[in-house]
Structure 1
Amino acid sequence: MATRQVPMLSLEAAKVAAEAAEAKAKEMGMDFNIALVDSTTHLLHFTRMPTAKLTSIQISIDKAFTAAGHRAPTSTYQNKNFLPGGPAFGIHNSNQGRFSIIGGGVPIEVDGTVVGAIGVSTGTPAQDMEVARAGVEAVEGWVKRRGASKL
């Protein structure tokens, strides 16, 4: 077979994630930048809440890019292997500096396949992760309610 189909997050599912993440942010009393990418790492949807840090726009997009591209949360890279002297130090310089080792990027999976990712930035890595996780959980619930994995 010369071609294959790659499962991708739909715009509708991305909006579900963004709305849930924004609701979580409001609950926390903070504004965030919220980016969603498809499984090919390309930007699908973006929300900048009013007082979210302008310098965090690209960071949120890069967190989503990293989580989708490596199919792992960006928090995975918060250990000694990626710090100065570690065997993987410098990975953050890869992909034209887009590889993020800061928590807040989380892949979105459907039936065990990464279909996209969410990246959140403005708060601490823990706060960013909390908002991102709300988006992921919303998509998981949305898929379950629909009774099918089709996005």
Structure 2
Amino acid sequence: MKTKAVLGQAEVAAILAAARSEAQANGWNVTIAVADDGGHLLGLERLDGCAPIASYIATEKARSAAIGRRETKGYEDMVNGGRNAFLSAPVVCSLEGGVPVIVDGQVIGSVGVSGVTATQDAQVAKAGVAAVGN
């Protein structure tokens, strides 16, 4: 039987704190979502001044990164590269800013961020992920 790490509430809190710190250091109002390896929401934080829609988008970025086992930027690149058929794939969000949490080569969850530019969203997500994995 295989075993792998899982995200507990301590790790979720560490991810949210690290991502929040990165966003606040840059003056970015974002929403940060943390999901388990099945894409189920474990934690969500919407910073003051962030639009409500960002909560939905961040959650879907996290879900897509978890179930796809890769950064959502890859999906965005596929669509932007002309592979429009990918829009019908079961991945809900093909926008940059979803990053898987990988520990010992296994995806154990993900972080999704929305509220600023795609590259900035990814920067905040990666700061959160760095608190526990990859």
TM-score by length of 2: 0.90
Q: Is residue 55 of structure 1 aligned with residue 53 of structure 2?
A: yes
CA distance in 2, matches of 1:23, 1:40: 26
Q: 1:102 to 1:111 in 2, by over 3 A?
A: same
Give the Cα separation in 2 of the matches to 1:122 and 1:77: 19
Over the aligned positions, Cα root-mean-square deviation in angstroms equals 2.1
SS at 1:140 equivalent: coil
| One-letter amino acid matched to 1:42 | H
- Alignment of 1:72 with 2:89, yes or no, is no
TM-score (norm 1): 0.80
State the secondary structure of the residue aligned to 1:46: strand
For the residue of structure 1 that corresponds to 2:132, the secondary structure is helix
The aligned residue for residue 149 of structure 1 is: none
Aligned to 1:127: 120
Q: Which runs of 5+ in 1 are unaligned?
A: 142-151
Spell out, residue by residue over 1:27-52, the C-alpha distance to the aligned partner (whole angstroms, 9 max, x if none).
01111100000112110011011111
- 1:23-102 matches, within 5 Å, as 23-79=21-77, 81-83=78-80, 86=83, 88-91=85-88, 94=90, 99-102=92-95
CA distance in 2, matches of 1:102, 1:77: 7
Partner of 1:117: 110
Q: 1:46 is matched by which residue type in structure 2?
A: L
Q: Is the 8 A contact 1:73 1:107 kept in 2?
A: yes
